[in-house]
Chain A
Amino acid sequence: MDSNKKTLVVFSGDLDKAMASLIIANGAAAMGNEVTMFFTFWGLNILRRPEKVSTRKTFLEALFGWMMPRGAGKLGLSKMNFGGMGASMMKIIMKQKNVSTVHELLESARDLGIRLIACTMSMDVMGLKAEELIDGLEYAGVATYLGAADEASVNLFI
């Protein structure tokens, strides 16, 4: 176990949980840690590109893609979302208080060399293609995450 390594599983695609995980990850990197974030299931939506990318999909995959938030700017709150109104309110408050957006935190994470791993099995299940996700990602499975988690002193599931 290396006390300089931290891993996070980002399972949720909620705005608040995405923020919490990215703030912890950025903070850990700023403490000199090697950080690995493993994005799976709903967490993958955080990594989607905001623009529409045309890809070959089955009907169900396309429907899934349409129903899920397209990127960091479209996430809802895990509590008090009220059809997106809560998330909009939260974003206004965050801006007033100069809190970084999920997009900015992701940029910062890449800048600090945090490993961002997209779970390929979840991508397949949810019909998300690599072209639809932001740049700078690694594509891997559970073994890669477990390999990193084995060496880490902190491992979070958010």
Chain B
Amino acid sequence: MAEKFINCRGLQCPGPIVRLFKEAKSCDGGDIMSIEATDLGFKKDIAAWCKKTKNELLSLEEEDGVIKAKIKKVDQA
């Protein structure tokens, strides 16, 4: 199980989810993706992205304008 850090600070919509989508392709089921973004909309977007792509949102927090999320890649049947 690998952990991948994805820095999306400074990227505007739809940058962070596009980047995350591409990075997720090279991850295996169970891998953790740790992502940081400064686009405020990302806080809601990441939840919607996880729901739609059926990945698991482990944690979501905001600290000094930086949104940090941890996502577990779920193997798609």
Contacts and interface: CB of A to CB of B under 8 A. Distances in A.
Contacts of A97: 12
14 contacts: A23-B13, A26-B18, A27-B18, A30-B14, A30-B17, A30-B20, A31-B48, A32-B21, A32-B52, A32-B53, A99-B12, A108-B18, A112-B18, A112-B21
B10 A30 contact: no
A98 interface: yes
Interface string A19-40: 0000100110111100000000
Interface in B1-23: 10-15, 17-18, 20-21
Interface string A85-123: 000000000000111100000001000100000000000
A30 B12 contact: no
Interface residues of B, number: 14
A150 to B, nearest CB: 22
Interface of B: 10-15, 17-18, 20-21, 48-49, 52-53
A29 B21 contact: yes
B77 to A, nearest CB: 14
A65 B12 CA distance: 33
A40 to B, nearest CB: 23
A27 B53 contact: no
B49 A100 contact: no
A147 to B, nearest CB: 24
B18 A30 contact: yes
B11 A98 contact: yes
Contact of A98 (B12, B21, B49): B12
Contacts of B21: 29-32, 112
A30 B11 contact: no
A122 B49 CA distance: 35
A64 B38 CA distance: 43
A97 B40 CA distance: 13
A30 B49 contact: yes
